[in-house]
Chain A
Amino acid sequence: MDIILQQLVNGLSLGSVYGLIAIGYTMVYGIIGMINFAHGDVYMVSAYVTAIAIALLSFFGIESFPVVILGTLIFTIFVTGVYGWVIERVAYRPLRGSSRLSILISAIGMSLILQNYVQLSQGAKQQGVPTLLSGAIRFEVGDGFVQLTYMKLFILCASFIGMGVLTYIIQKTKLGRMCRATQQDPKMASILGIDTDKIISTVFVIGATMAALAGVLVTLDYGGFDFYVGFIIGIKAFTAAVLGGIGSLPGAMLGGIILGLSEALFAGLISSDYKDVFSFSLLVIILIFRPSGLLGKPEVEKV
């Protein structure tokens, strides 16, 4: 019993992170109808920037936890946001209007560039960050106990705040309205005076900042990462986006949490060696039986 509860706690924090990254996939898919293949690598870059930010702050003698975490968040989100903008500019904008295959291949190229560029500049070895927040809350459950580390609690709070702010922006602000209009009908939106190019850039930047938030949280929690982490977590976040219904924001969050929970349970109860196989198989099964996901609208084929 305590194992299951413990795995649920772990899965919840993992799932909220998947949800954050899934937002990047879902928003880009909603607006230009394609998968941003380089999104997982944007997450990977943010992990490196997090470690660099922490190293820089400690170099300048800043040690207090709230300042370090706030500084790291601001720095990482800013740098990663610029990455999102540059990636859109280089790999996607010149290809606007060409075939989906071309755009996808260009995106794969971008993903290879990011991975190899980070590997060449930072070396292939595993990197790490020091533990900033330790300690845990323990609950007695039956014979054993379940522990909720402060870091996991922090992840949950930070990711729900991030999602809340984003939902507010999309639902209530003018920028959000323009995003939704472009998502619904880009041609019509541009006729009505919305600069759709700018909105698409903005969407890439928003996706990147959410990936950056996830990158900071996961890096602080696990400590270790290398230039390859974006690949697996990217596919899982994509699975989450598809599970929730790609194109739908609440779907991304829901999908992330469901995936995180089921993966943690699978790892805890059946086999942790095959937990990635489980996620990939889940993706295939969802796509076969419910391609529009839990909260998505069915895709209409246009001639």
Chain B
Amino acid sequence: MSQTMTNIDYKKSIIDAVIAGLLALIVFGPIVGIVLDGYDFNAEPQRLIGIIAVVMAGRFVASVFFQTPKGAAFLYKHSSKDDGVHVLAADHKSKLRWIIPLTIVIALLVPFVASKYILTVVILGLIYVLLGLGLNIVVGLAGLLDLGFVGFYAIGAYGLALGYEYLGLGFWSMLPIAAIIAAIFGAILGFPVLRMHGDYLAIVTLGFGEIIRLVLTNWTEVTQGPNGMNAPLPSFFGMEFKRRASEGHVPFHEFFGIPYSSAYKYIFIYLVLLLVVLGVLYVKKRLTKMPIGRAWEALREDEIACRSLGLNHVLVKLSAFMIGASTGGLAGVFFATYQGFVNPSSFTFFESALILAIVVLGGMGSTLGVVIAAFVLTVAPELLREFADYRVLAFGMLMVLMMIWKPRGLVRMTRTGVEQREGNVK
């Protein structure tokens, strides 16, 4: 024990801490310590001193820790980048076989047990699961960083509102149409960006998302600009979820002879949304096993090798973009009908970053991880109201730390290996 103690150079740690403290003073001093108040300012030294103390203490502890054998081992472990997919044995039996049906049963029971407030929060969580799954195809599987994903979300939401306003289309007809429109926009965006890779792609998609938001904001004659538009509620075989139905319709509660409750529409949206999420999960699971899914991943790992082996990279990338976009469009329709109202402020770059944070935290390419992350990142801030102001900060830190610590996310993507069949030609 004493041997390890002598190896620690405390002088170095103290110098590290002092340097970190000085940097913190320069970085945080003006912004945190001095708060602008018109052309005047208020000094807030106690906040500044607190932050500097935390930074110095943290740097000191980290510096000492990394000099211990344990810390060195930790550094070594995390400096090696664990890339690629974890392949399981061919006869691997996943525990999920039991967990999945159990989760579905619990999920089906939620609306009948939970309060209306919890139900609305869970619906929001499911919408983000859908968004996360969509972006996960583009970023996680195909490796194309799309920062304008919120654009497709907006197309879905405004598709419902505009379709209702101008064409009289309802929730059920817009659900598939919005998905198709979003997919077409995905293809339109996909074509030009196929020639770019990495960072250029990220910036162009970001620009695309902003263009959509700016058009929605400024095209006031059609979209009513920042004031937003109304979106219709879903109906159940033509029955509406209102206290009094509009002309020619029967309200849901009157048809079944039950008392009116405003929770019915949320229960209904929840159940439909749950079915759609399960459907998307299933489709995605199948896709990853099909050649197209494997081609996405191959393209992510090495594009040049894939192209030299004759893979049609245009088709492969476009398909990822279109499938991802259509999932985003679906989520948008649900969002609009859940809110009953859409306006451009719901579709800022922050939304895209949040969806990206879900994919990154959950594990790129991993379905289970994305589902869990979507719930954690959307439901947790709702339940911890007093920390809601800090959530963007937390997302940012999460993204930086995750990339340093576990670039492939918390849940590693796995796939089951293939076994040679008995009786094959030797």
Contacts and interface: CB of A to CB of B under 8 A. Distances in A.
B203 to A, nearest CB: 6
A52 B37 CA distance: 10
Q: What secondary structure prevails in chain B residues at the interface with A? A: helix
B173 interface: no
Nearest to B83: A99
B383 interface: no
What range describes how many residues of B lie at the interface?
Answer: 35 or more
Contact of B393 (A48, A113, A238): A113
Interface string A26-59: 0001000011010000000100110111111011
B194 to A, nearest CB: 10
Nearest to B212: A277
A127 interface: yes
Interface residues of A, number: 72
Given A90-B400, A108-B147, A277-B211, A48 B392 contact: no
A238 B147 CA distance: 15
A129 interface: yes
A55 B41 contact: yes
Contact of A48 (B31, B202, B206, B403): B31
A110 B39 contact: no
Contacts of B147: 108
A185 interface: no
Interface stretch (A2-10, A62-70, A279-287): A279-287
Contacts of A51: 36
A267 interface: no
Nearest to B407: A102
A105 B392 contact: no
Interface string B175-212: 00000000000000000100110111011101110110
Which of B35, B207, B210 has its CB near the most chain A CB atoms (within 10 A)? B207
A79 B30 contact: yes
A283 B203 contact: yes
Contacts of B360: 105
A106 interface: yes
B210 A280 contact: yes
A117 B31 CA distance: 9
A54 B34 CA distance: 12
A284 B147 CA distance: 14
Interface string A84-99: 0110001100110111
Contacts of B407: 98-99, 102
Interface string A104-146: 1110111111111111111100011110000000000000000
Nearest to A115: B392
Contacts of A274: 214, 218
A105 B403 contact: yes
A72 to B, nearest CB: 12
A55 B206 contact: no
Given A102-B403, A121-B35, A127-B36, A113 B396 contact: yes
Interface of A: 29, 34-35, 37, 45, 48-49, 51-56, 58-59, 78-79, 82-83, 85-86, 90-91, 94-95, 97-106, 108-123, 127-130, 231, 235, 238, 242, 273-274, 276-277, 280-281, 283-284, 287-288, 291, 301, 303
